[in-house]
Structure 1
Amino acid sequence: MNIQIQNLYNKAAKPERLIIGLMSGTSMDGLDIALCSVKGFGPETDIKILEFKTGEYTNEFRTKIKAIFSKEQVDLQLVCLMNEHIANVHAQLINEALEEWTYKNEQIDFIASHGQTIFHAPKSLHKLENYPNGTLQIGDGDHIAVKTGIITLSDFRQKHLAAGGEGAPLAVYGDFLMFSKSGENRIMLNIGGIANFTYLPGNLNASEIFSTDVGPGNTMMDQFMQKHYHQFYDKNATVATSGKLNETLLSVLLNCDFLEMDFPKTTGPELFNLDYLLSAQKQSSTENLKPKDLMATLCHFSAETIANAIKKCFGNEAKAQIYMSGGGMHNPLLVKLLKGKIPQSNFLTTADLNINPDAKEAVLFAVLANETLCGKPIDFGSRKGVPSVCMGKISLPA
């Protein structure tokens, strides 16, 4: 047997595995690096976060990603080069984190890398006949494995596509394993660039679970702040809080086919972006609104789409245990609006479940990797968009 295959087998068979989960989202604020201790698999998964940090991206690196991000036409040579460049930067950030945490690379069993999404193209968005669902994450796993010396699992979304899914959202798999609780219906709400949630029934019936994107979370607000205020995001919702909601513009923003589609569904910045806002302004004759009023309206737009999605599932008087994660949970205006729109629901964070909410997405990929290495596909029944598969390609370091 090849020594690397033997090494893979031995590590997968360990009673406790050290797995680094990585996440770099559409916000591109940095690389979330979560060092996890994982025991067991499936419903018996026991995961603990040993260390967590966000490796910061330089402005130059972020600009390079944006040059190929969420655009229908890009420089193909640059896409090719960035596949390697992103992986090399991620490997460097991992090595630096391990040194900071005083771990040796050889102590780590596996890396689970989401990569960097540069385009997401489900059929519902591209609407091209005779073409399948598509998504593309770059940041090659072989480069990370070689540069760190650690077996790396990557490119998780492709198996989901191959099995009939849309490549997103994948949170349903990790949420089921980490957060299901008998007797309590839970909503795991992640407010990233795009907002999504997973419904976890208290009866623990996997066939009833689903995960879905619901619409914009932070993506439009962040894009607006970067263009008009030269700030990465609206810290503490300072700008949005100083503005006023424009009901006319909000009404047009909410008039979107995607928002009326049944669950599960998936979307991205390819739809919800500043062009979408500009189109809505033209339709509503609100081109002369003050920037702060536009920010306030965008925040209301995100809150309305999230609240409407939850009401669609659980009724206008929705009573749910909602556990938040993602950057949007730090936006005080967004959270205040959500609480006002769903007053009978209880808003918590995954910190109440012993998982750092900022680390949750990175931990998810550690869980997905663990299932590929040690578990088996979870039977989600015939539910649309949730194929019963294990995900992740395996890259050996030599």
Structure 2
Amino acid sequence: MNRQLTDLVRIAQAPQRIIAGLMSGTSLDGLDIALCEFTGSGLETSIKVLHFVTMPYTQEFKEELKSISFKRQVSLQEVTLMNAVIGSYSAELVLAALQKWNYPATAVDLIASHGQTIFHAPFSLHQEESYPNATLQIGDGDHIAVKTGIITLSDFRQKHIAAGGEGAPLAVYGDYLLFSSQTENRILLNIGGISNFTYLPQGRNPDQVFSTDVGPGNTLMDQFIQLHYDDQYYDKDALIAIAGTPNLDLVNTLLDHPFFALPFPKTTGPELFNLSYLWNAQKACGQLSLSNEDIMASLCEFTALSIVRALQSSVQDQSFSVYLSGGGMHNPLLVQKINDGLGFTAAYTDELGILPDAKEAVLFALLANECVAGGQTDFGRRTGIPSVTMGKISLPG
């Protein structure tokens, strides 16, 4: 047997595994790296997060990513080149993080890399009858494996689509295994570029669990800031939005899109929720002369309302607790509006044992753990949640 396959079998059978989970989202701000110690698998999974860091991307790298992300037409050469560049750069950042922590690369069993989403195309968005759901994440896993010397799992979303899902959101797999409760109805709300949540009814019945995208999280607000404020990538502390007043005509027009009427589960991305979406809404409601502050206030209101309405329609009259994660949790105005809409204060996932900033990176580490050491969990028979293991394995040599 190939020695590296022997190593993989040893890792799968070991009582513990050290896995580095990597996540880079639609905000394109940096690479989240969570170094995790796993014991067990499935519903018996136990995780200890040993270290976590966000390694910021260089300005030049951000601009290169933006040039090929979420656009219908881009340079095929640039996509091809960036597939290798992202993989190599991710490996460099992992090695730098390990050096920062004084943690030897030889002690890491696996790397789990989400890659960089550059286009998400579920059927609900592309509407091409002869084509399936599709998504594309780049950042080649072989480059990571070779450069770090660590077995790497990547490209997790393709299996989900092949098995009948839309490739997103994948949070349900980690949320169910780590956070489901016998006694509490829980919603795990992640506000990244796109907002998504997992509903975990009490009792841990997989047939009742589901996960779905909601709509925009930070993406529209971030895109607007990046267009109009040269030195900013987001509205820090919501200072610009707080200075404005929501325009309800614009907010209602933004909410008037067929996506919001689609049944759960559903997925979306910046391919829909972008500055063209905002501009078209402004034209439709005759609000083309709003100040930047009022537009940001309106976008924050729109985002909060879309989240609150989705949560309330999912649970109806049941009592439930909400646990937040994702970059949007750092927007105080957005969180306040969500709490006001729900009528109670949402908690954060650190109350359940996982730092909210690290949650998505931990998720992909968990998916890698399931791929090599688990794979027996029944995730029920809900649409969009196939019971599959995900991740393509790249050997270092």
TM over 0.5: yes
CA-to-aligned-CA distance 1:130-184 (integer Å, 9 cap, x gap): 0000000000000000000000000000000000000000000000111111111
Q: What is the alpha-carbon distance in structure 2 between the residues aligned to residue 131 and residue 102 of structure 1?
A: 48
Contact 1:188–1:197 (8 Å) recurs in 2: yes
- Confirm or deny that 1:308 pairs with 2:270: no
C-alpha change, 1:185 and 1:318, in structure 2 (3 Å) is closer
Quote the offset at 1:33 in angstroms: 0.3
**Partner of residue 350, structure 1:** 349
CA distance in 1, matches of 2:78, 2:150: 27
CA contact (8 A) 1:207 1:379 kept: no
Matches within 5 A, 1:283-302: 283-302=284-303
Alignment partners' CA distance in 2, 1:104 and 1:55: 18
Give 1:379's aligned residue.
378
1: CA distance, partners of 2:130 / 2:381: 24
How far apart in 2 are the matches of 1:206 and 1:8?
A: 29
Whole-Å Cα distance in 1 between the matches of residues 29 and 167 of structure 2?
22
What 5-or-longer segments of structure 2 have no aligned partner?
A: none
Per the alignment, in what secondary structure is the counterpart of residue 195 of structure 1? strand
**8 Å Cα contact 1:88-1:147 kept in structure 2:** yes
Q: Secondary structure at the match of 2:396?
A: coil
1:160 paired to 2:160:
yes
Quote the offset at 1:382 in angstroms: 2.2
Query: Alignment partner of 1:50: what SS?
Result: strand
Query: Gaps (5+ residues) in structure 1?
Result: none
- Residue 12 (structure 1) shift: 1.5
Q: What is aligned with 2:263?
A: 262
Give, as a single letter, the amino acid of the residue that structure 1 aligns with 2:170.
Answer: L
C-alpha offsets along residues 324-348 of structure 1, whole Å, 9 cap, x if unaligned?
Answer: 00011111000110111110x4410
Q: 1:129 offset after TM fit, Å? A: 1.2
Moved over 6 A (4+): none
Structure 2: distance between partners of 1:14 and 1:372: 14
Where in structure 2 are the equivalents of 1:53-72 lying within 5 Å? 53-72=53-72
Letter in 1 for 2:272: L
Task: Give the aligned partner of residue 83 of structure 2.
Answer: 83
Distance 1:79 1:13 in 2: 38
- Whole-angstrom distance in 2 between the partners of 1:351 and 1:227: 34
* Mapping of residues 357-376 of structure 1, within 5 Å: 357-376=356-375
Match of 1:392 in 2: 391
The 8 Å contact of residues 320 and 346 in structure 1, kept in 2 or not, is answered as: no
Retained in 2: the 8 A contact 1:319–1:346?
A: no
Structure 1 residues 77-130: Cα deviation after superposition (integer angstroms, max 9, x where no partner): 110000000011100000000011111111000000000000000000000010
Q: Is the 8 A contact 1:189 1:324 kept in 2?
A: yes
Structure-to-structure mapping, 1:180-259, within 5 angstroms: 180-230=180-230, 231-259=232-260
SS at 1:67 equivalent? helix
State the partner residue of 1:119: 119
- Which residue type is aligned with residue 380 of structure 1? F
Deviations 1:267-316 (CA, angstroms, capped at 9, x unpaired): 0000001000000000011000001000000000000000000111122x
| Structure 2 counterpart of 1:138 | 138
Alpha-carbon distance between aligned partners in 1 of 2:129 and 2:19, rounded to the nearest angstrom: 40
Q: Percent identity?
A: 59
**What amino acid does structure 2 have at the position aligned with 1:357?**
P
Whole-Å separation in 2 of the counterparts to 1:293 and 1:126: 32
Q: Is the 8 A contact 2:185 2:319 kept in 1?
A: no
C-alpha deviation, 1:377, in angstroms = 4.2
Aligned length in residues: 396
Distance in 2, matches of 1:374 and 1:314, equals 34
What is the alpha-carbon distance in structure 2 between the residues aligned to residue 367 and residue 380 of structure 1?
15
Contact 1:311 1:318 in 2 (8 A): no
Kept in 1, the 8 Å contact 2:18–2:38? The answer is yes
Q: Tell me the distance in 2 between the aligned counterparts of 1:222 and 1:376.
A: 37
Partner of 2:320: 320
3-state DSSP of counterpart to 1:252: helix
Check whether the contact 1:310–1:318 (CA below 8 A) recurs between aligned residues.
no
Q: Name the amino acid aligned to 1:225.
A: I
Report the Cα distance in structure 2 between the residues aligned to 1:30 and 1:211, rounded to whole angstroms.
Answer: 25
Q: 1:320: Cα distance to partner?
A: 1.7
Deviation of residue 201 (structure 1)? 1.2
